[in-house]
Each structure stands twice: as C-alpha cells, then as structure tokens.
C-alpha cells in the first residue's frame, strides 16, 4: 500500500491522447472537442477530468447524442456501468485517495505500516469494488496521500487524487466545486477540553475563549456562527490543535465528534469530550465535478457495503474502538448535484 504527501501538479501514469466527437441524432452537425495530445503533459487522472467536464456539458445540452471516445466510451451516460474514471483507474492499476491523517480515520499503524481508520476502510471498500476484489487483495492498487482540509477541492480539481475520503462534510457551497458520493457517515461537531476543565459544557461557553480547529473546515464556520465571541486558532490538522490544547495555548478544541474521540483516546487521559454536539456533518466521498457515472458507481458500492454488513464492521473496528456505538448509516443522496459556478 503506497502513500505520499500531496504536492502541486503531481502527475501519475501518462494517459494517451484524448479526442471526443459528438454527432447529434437531430442533425448532421459534428462538434469536435480535442484534448492536449502530448502524453508527457497529461496524467491519467487529468485525462479523466477532461472527460468528466465534457460529459457534464453534453448532459446540459438536453439532446440525444452519440459519443465517440478514443480513450473510453459513454461519458454522457448516467449509468455506473460505463464510468470512464473506473476504466482509467483500472488501466493505471491503482486508485489515488486523499485522506486526513487523524486517529480513527486515517493513520499509519507503526507496527504493520498499514493505514487504518474508518475513512481508510471506506476508501479500501470502494477500491475493492472497482478492482473486483477484496480489501485484503488490494496491495499496491490503492495509494493514500495526505490531503489537508484547505486543499481538498484543489486536489480533486487538479487531478492529484481520484477521490477524497477525509471527514469531508457535504455542503451546498462545496457542491458548486466538486461532487460527492454518499453521505457515508453522519458526524456531529463537539468540543474537547482538558480533562480537569469543567468550565466548558457547551458551545456558548466558548465565547471569550481561545478555540482551535482546522483551517478550511465547516467546523470553523460553525464556531463563528454559534460562538461569535470565541477567538479562533486555525491550524492545518486537528492533531496540531490537540497539541495546542495540551500545551495550554487554547482552552478548547472543536471539530467532529469522531475525530475528537480519537484524539481523546490517544491523549493518555489528558482530554475529555464535552458531549455537547451542536451541528450535523454528513461525510461524503469527494470526486470531480460532473463525473456522474463515477458518482453513481460509488453510491452503488456504498449501498452494497451497507447491506452486506461491511460498513458496520468497518465502523466497529475503527471508531468503535474509541467507545462510539455503531450507528445506522445515513441515507445515500442520489439527487442531482447543483451546477458548478466555479467554471463555465
């Protein structure tokens, strides 16, 4: 199982040149759409990005079309059976997944050197479906890269990752830029304080205090709305926030309960959870905007693992180890995502 830290403009296996041509059944007009034909400048993920963007455009036309792809076929289909993204991933031989390096969700086990956590398990179960195998048989067919909260959208849009499974809350604002499969988990924002601190029992008690959370998250926006007098400290990771709390630099840490549960468990008795949730955070699998066939496939796979019990097993083996009861999975949202306002 490979791992890397994400870097700007990182390329993966070069893809062949891509040419698309549409012939409408309503007329004999032909519209040619070409991609850069220099294989040294195209990664396989970037090629899929072009297909997905074009696919979204042709669906908005609203007329019957015949799509001829040199790389793949059927990008205008809503069916999960003809996903060009999946074909590109299989051709490359691996899926690249962005994750958070947080306890309970996605950390490397120092003994086994394998990544573990609920988000990791979800990513592996998605990959097992794509490669038609099991989590145990994946080997190097899945590569994990650290994707900070503030960089998730750009990682997807730039083609650095195929999907992001990183405590990624689905919001209307984010759906303008990326698409989501799921949700696969409903988390709730809560508060972590020092074990001996009884002064903070709820979100209102954060006003006038220094509170840490991660930059680029819904947690920061929620805190600004519900505790407007709190003094926010924004760091790259929640692990850094826990370190700040332990050093007395902040009075509290606030983010999703599943993340805080891991920090409490790893804190050797230094922290406690307030158990005063004040928001709901539906976690989704982030993917390229407009890639509806890939989204449908991921949603189908999520439904499959929910029914098989693999979802519950994954939760019990990861977040359940922190004392969290296995919940009922949230309903999968198969409705159409809103159109992007980030690009034409």
Q: Are 127 and 294 spatial neighbours (Cβ–Cβ below 8 Å)?
A: no
- Integer Cα distance of 85 and 290 in angstroms: 12
pLDDT, position 53: 52
Q: Which of 102-106, 186-190, 272-276 has the lowest mean pLDDT?
A: 102-106
> Tokens representing 315?
């939760």
Taking only the tens place, the pLDDT of each residue in 93-147 is 999 999 999 889 999 999 998 999 999 999 999 999 999 999 999 999 999 999 9
Give the integer Cα–Cα distance in Å for 45 and 51.
Answer: 10
Task: Indicate whether 255 pLDDT > 50.
Answer: yes
CA distance 156 to 145: 12
> Does residue 340 lie in a domain region?
no
Indicate if 154 and 181 belong to the same structural domain. Answer: yes
Q: Clarify whether residues 298 and 182 are in a common domain.
A: yes
Residues 61, 109 within the same domain:
no
Q: Return the number of other C-beta atoms located less than 10 Å from residue 111's C-beta.
A: 6
Q: Which among 119, 125, 95, 94 has a CA at the least distance from the CA of 107?
A: 119
Co-location of 288 and 213 in the same domain: no
The per-residue pLDDT for 128 is 97
CATH number at residue 294: 3.40.190.10
Q: Is residue 177, in this structure, part of any structural domain at all?
A: yes
* CA atoms of 293 and 78, how far apart (whole Å): 5
Q: Domain check: are 154 and 299 in the same one?
A: yes
- Residue 89 CA to residue 268 CA, distance in Å, equals 41
Q: What is the pLDDT of residue 198?
A: 96
Q: Are residues 165 and 17 in the same domain?
A: no
Give the integer Cα–Cα distance in Å for 145 and 157. 15
Residue 219 is encoded by which pair of tokens?
């947690």
- Beta strands of the chain (E only): which ranges? 2-5, 19-24, 30-34, 65-69, 95-99, 107-108, 115-116, 142-146, 163-164, 178-194, 210-214, 231-235, 252-256, 271-273, 279-288
Partnered with residue 212 across adjacent β-strands are 233, 253
Q: What is d(CA 60, CA 58) in angstroms, rounded to the nearest whole number?
A: 5
Q: How far apart are CA 116 and CA 101, in angstroms?
A: 10
State residue 4's pLDDT score: 52
The percentage of residues in the chain with a pLDDT greater than 90, rounded to a whole number, is 70
CA atoms within 13 A on the CB side of 71: 33
Asked if the structure places residue 337 within a domain, the reply is no
Would strands 178-194 and 279-288 be described as parallel, antiparallel, or unpaired?
antiparallel
Per the structure, the count of domains in the chain is 3
Average pLDDT of span 25-52: 41
Together in a domain, 174 and 288 = yes
Q: Examine residue 335 and state whether it is found in any structural domain, yes or no.
A: no
Going by pLDDT thresholds of 50, 70 and 90, the confidence category of residue 246 is very high
**Digit-coded pLDDT (tens) for 210-226:** 999 999 899 999 999 99
Q: Which of 38, 54, 89 delimits the end of a domain?
A: 89
Same domain flag for 27 and 75: yes
331 domain residue, yes or no: no
Please give the pLDDT value at position 8.
41
User: What's the pLDDT at 83?
Assistant: 86
Whether 46 and 182 share a structural domain? no
**Domain identity same for 144 and 286:** yes
Task: Select the more confidently predicted residue: 319 or 13.
Answer: 319
Does some domain include residue 49?
Answer: yes
Residue 32, domain extent? 2-89
Question: Residue 46 is encoded by which pair of tokens?
Answer: 């970037």
DSSP 102: -
Number of H helices, E strands in the chain: 9, 15
CB 268 within 8 A of CB 241: no
Q: Output the 3-class SS for 267-315.
A: CCCCEEECCCCCEEEEEEEEEECCCHHHHHHHHHHHHHHHHHCHHHHHH
Sign of CA dihedral 237, 239, 241, 244: negative
Domain boundary among 229, 246, 280: 280
Q: Which two tokens stand for residue 262?
A: 């891991």
Last residue of some domain: 61, 89, 117? 89
pLDDT band at 295 (very low <50, low <70, confident <90, very high): very high
Average confidence (pLDDT) over 286-305 = 97
Q: Does residue 37 form part of some domain? A: yes
pLDDT in tens, 58-92: 443 333 333 334 333 443 434 445 689 999 999 99
> In this structure, how many other beta carbons lie within 10 angstroms of the beta carbon of residue 21?
14
Same domain, 176 and 197: no
Q: Is the pLDDT of residue 256 over 80?
A: yes
Residue 17 domain flag? yes
Q: Where are the alpha helices (DSSP H) in 77-193?
A: 84-92, 118-130, 152-157
The residue ranking higher by pLDDT, 36 or 140, is: 140
- Are 24 and 61 in a shared domain? yes
């Amino acid at each position: 199982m490979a791992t890397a830290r994400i870097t700007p403009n990182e390329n993966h296996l070069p893809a062949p040149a891509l040419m698309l041509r549409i012939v409408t059944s309503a007329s004999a007009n032909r519209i040619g759409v070409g991609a850069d034909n220099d294989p040294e400048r195209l990664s396989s993920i970037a090629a899929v990005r072009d297909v997905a963007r074009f696919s979204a455009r042709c669906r908005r036309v609203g007329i019957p079309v015949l799509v001829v792809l040199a790389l793949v076929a059927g990008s205008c289909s809503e069916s999960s059976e003809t996903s060009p993204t999946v074909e590109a991933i299989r051709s490359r031989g691996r899926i690249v997944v962005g994750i958070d390096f947080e306890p309970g969700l996605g950390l490397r086990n120092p003994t086994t050197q394998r990544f573990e956590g609920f988000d990791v398990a979800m990513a592996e179960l998605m990959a097992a479906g794509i490669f038609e195998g099991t989590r145990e048989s994946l080997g190097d067919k899945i590569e994990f890269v650290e994707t900070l909260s503030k960089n998730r959208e750009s990682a997807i849009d730039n083609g650095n990752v195929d999907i992001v499974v990183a405590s990624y809350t689905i919001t209307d604002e984010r759906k303008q830029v990326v698409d989501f499969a799921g949700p696969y988990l409903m988390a709730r924002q809560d508060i972590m304080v020092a074990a001996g601190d009884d002064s903070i029992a709820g979100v209102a008690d954060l006003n006038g205090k220094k509170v840490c959370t991660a930059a680029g998250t819904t947690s920061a926006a929620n805190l600004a709305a519900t505790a407007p007098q709190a003094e926010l400290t924004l760091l790259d990771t929640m692990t850094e926030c826990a370190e700040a709390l332990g050093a007395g630099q902040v009075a509290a840490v606030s983010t999703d309960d599943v993340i805080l549960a891991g920090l409490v468990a790893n804190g050797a008795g230094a922290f406690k959870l307030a158990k005063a949730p004040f928001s709901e955070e539906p976690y989704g699998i982030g993917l390229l905007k407009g890639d509806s066939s890939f989204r449908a496939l991921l949603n189908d796979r999520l439904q499959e693992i929910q029914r098989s019990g693999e979802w519950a097993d994954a939760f019990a083996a990861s977040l359940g180890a922190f004392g969290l009861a296995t919940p009922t999975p949230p309903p999968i949202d198969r409705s159409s995502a809103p159109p992007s306002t980030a690009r034409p």
